[in-house]
Amino acid sequence: MKLEGWIDSYLDHLRVERALAANTLDAYARDLSALAQHMGQASGEATLPSEIAPHHIEAFLAASMERGYGARSSGRRLSAFRGFFRFLVRERVLLDDPTALVVRARLARKLPRVMSFEQIERLLAAPGDSTERGILHGAMLHLMYASGLRVSELCKLRVGDIDLQRGLVAVHGKGGKCRLVPVGEVALDLVGRYLRDVRPRVARPGSAILFASRRSGRFTRAAFWKMVRRYAVSAGIVPLPSPHKLRHSFATHLLRGGADLRAVQSMLGHADLGTTEIYTHVAQDHVRAAHAKSHPRA
């Protein structure tokens, strides 16, 4: 079977057996299709997996970086290729993994940008609560910041995922994993008001989606992005934040307040503690700044 056929088999494996998210599958499909196209252009015909050598992978990644791909995007592509070729080794299509000796491009440690608490307060207050749309948008913004949700997780929430009595939200994250995250009282009150006063008038009959939209039935990531930017402009927040900054700010503000790193890892849904540890550097910057400002011999 040619390379394209094995790529389809691998994507089916990821979809059925590993239950990866649709966005992750799309990214893998793009990266592997780009590799197949590169190999086809080099040889002039469809390629067999056994014809791919390490220098082909290295040449493809180098060409990608020349076209503007950064080290992070290049590393993501290499990860996609490694998973694919390890799959072929397990299926006994290949004896060796051609990516085994390919070196990942070195990544500079990039600290997440976060909003100050004062900026968060202004953003959360921007929708107001005098209109149905304001109540809906306010509930979404408060819940995202209160629980550190990803945008995709927020948009996929169902009515049954929020427990107003216990103050918990069941979040369905990457890879189909579910985690329970506590929700603060202010966010709970706003979500409860939205469920009582707004959702019955905007949700489609039979819909279980928590945050409903009259136009499309459910909020999309793009619609939420535009909404955050619009309220950031009205609140005078510069530079304009991305929705993911709410998640970064949630984690950083918790750690600055003395939260346990493992607890923050659990709330964020990180599989690796090292992913969460990056927020400690942001929190330590805050501590250093306070020390420099306040200590008589700083």
List, as one string, the DSSP characters of 208-232. Answer: -BSS--TTTSS--HHHHHHHHHHHH
Q: What is the pLDDT of residue 288?
A: 65
Q: What is the pLDDT of residue 159?
A: 95
What confidence tier does 156 reach under pLDDT thresholds 50, 70, 90?
Answer: very high
For residue 92, indicate whether it is catalytic.
no
**Could you say which of 174, 193, 221, 229 is catalytic?**
174
Segment of 17-21, 38-42, 281-285 carrying the highest mean pLDDT: 17-21
Q: What tens digit of pLDDT does each residue of 78-106 get?
A: 889 999 999 999 999 999 999 988 877 66
For residue 293, indicate whether it is catalytic.
no
Tokens representing residue 15 in the block: 């979809």
Q: What is the pLDDT of residue 48?
A: 87
**Could you say which of 77, 137, 150, 156 is catalytic?**
150
Residue 162 host element (H or E): strand 162-163
Please name the residues in contact with 77: beta carbons below 8 A apart, sequence gap of 6 or more.
31, 34, 35, 61, 64, 69
**Could you say which of 86, 221, 244, 286 is catalytic?**
244
Segment of 34-48, 78-92, 261-275 carrying the highest mean pLDDT: 78-92
For residue 279, indicate whether it is catalytic.
yes
What confidence tier does 44 reach under pLDDT thresholds 50, 70, 90?
Answer: low
For residue 150, indicate whether it is catalytic.
yes
For residue 244, indicate whether it is catalytic.
yes
Residue 112 pLDDT more than 80? no
Q: Which residue has the higher pLDDT, 127 or 76?
A: 127
Q: Which residue has the higher pLDDT, 254 or 279?
A: 254
Please name the residues in contact with 282: beta carbons below 8 A apart, sequence gap of 6 or more.
111, 112, 114, 248, 252, 255
C-alpha distances in Å from residue 192, one per residue of 113, 161, 195, 200, 280: 31, 13, 5, 12, 33
Domains, the chain, in order of start with CATH, read 3-90 (1.10.150.130), 117-293 (1.10.443.10)
Q: What is the DSSP letter of 206?
A: T
Mean per-residue pLDDT, 196-209: 91
**Could you say which of 245, 247, 248, 256 is catalytic?**
247
Please say whether the beta carbons of 150 and 173 come within 8 A.
yes
Q: What is the pLDDT of residue 294?
A: 62
For residue 15, indicate whether it is catalytic.
no
